[in-house]
Amino acid sequence: MIRTDLAMERREMHPQEIPGVRSHEITVGDARIIRIEIETEEGAQALQKPAGQYITIELPALNELGAFSEDVLVSIKNEISRLLPREGLILTCGLGNTQITPDALGPKTASYILATRHIAGDFAQTLGLSSLRPAAVIAPGVLGQTGIETGEILAGIVQKVGPAAVIVVDALASRRIERLGKTVQISNTGIVPGAGVGNHRQEISEAVLGVPVISIGVPTVVDAATLASDLAGRDIVSQGEPMMVTPRDIDTLIEHAARLISHSINCALHPDMPPEDLLTLAG
């Protein structure tokens, strides 16, 4: 069984045209952008993904980035902006477990998101931050740490603070080693935490939360059986416990990915602020 969270990889498994699936590709400097839109149930079944938009951005390896490439940053920021409502509070949720490095992308990203919900009125004007959009951020941990499904935590927060949309950031699984740390996927279909490693949790989507959910992820692992199947050119069934493969420099990859994604989100939420000022404010 081929395990992947990337819609573009699902599409690559079907060389023929798929009814109800449209795709388009453009290149912006260092960034290659592949947009896939699943419009029908037939297309959703073929790609094993919910109907909606999937944007994949291929970029230079994140563990080789000494600074943000403007082409990459602007590309990610623009795709996020395109899916967000124009007004209202945005809640960003970093999914994952900080104690497992390949799964720490979400919480690490959340630590660099600029929270502004509490900065309003005269206080915001005094600080010169009156142009900032209200934003909140949370890193709820995982079920094994809290005893509560992440979806349940988010549902309660959404009910209480009433965001216009939720952004969820999570680590993903790819089918190919060469895509680890070189791919960002953005979607408006929500996410099922843990799906990439076969540990499906409660779905986080607009149908569940009642507000639009934009998911952002970077592949950090490859399922060992999937990797073996790709190398052998045939399906290989795992003979034991599922195993995941991750790069040896995963710590660096997670750090760069978290900074890139968080800065892209901050820039999308606060387009009137200079990017360098947002970097300073967010730490």
Instruction: Write down the pLDDT at residue 143.
Output: 85
Q: State the Cα–Cα distance between residues 30 and 183, nearest whole angstrom.
A: 12
Q: Which residues are CB-contacts of 45 (< 8 A; sequence separation ≥ 6)? A: none
Tell me if 2 is assigned to some domain.
no
- Listed as ranges, residues in the chain with pLDDT below 70 are 1, 62-68, 121-130, 193-201, 233-241
Instruction: Write down the pLDDT at residue 172.
Output: 95
One-character DSSP codes across 233-282 = TS----SSS--EE--TTHHHHHHHHHHHHHHHHHHHH-TTS-HHHHHHHH
Identify the sign of the CA torsion 68, 55, 165, 48.
negative
Q: State the Cα–Cα distance between residues 116 and 209, nearest whole angstrom.
A: 22
Give me the domain span that covers residue 50: 7-282
How many domains would you assign to the chain?
1
Tell me if 1 is assigned to some domain.
no
Tell me if 92 is assigned to some domain.
yes
pLDDT in tens, 56-83: 999 877 655 456 678 889 999 999 999 9
Q: Which of 9, 61, 63, 71 is nearest to 36 (CA)?
A: 9
CATH number of domain containing 57: 3.40.50.1450
**Residue 213 CB coordination number (10 Å):** 26
Instruction: Write down the pLDDT at residue 243.
Output: 81
Instruction: Write down the pLDDT at residue 241.
Output: 65
Tell me if 182 is assigned to some domain.
yes
pLDDT in tens, 171-201: 999 988 889 989 999 999 999 765 544 555 6
Tell me if 78 is assigned to some domain.
yes
> pTM of this prediction?
0.90
Tell me if 272 is assigned to some domain.
yes
Instruction: Write down the pLDDT at residue 15.
Output: 81
Instruction: Write down the pLDDT at residue 169.
Output: 97
Instruction: Write down the pLDDT at residue 196.
Output: 45
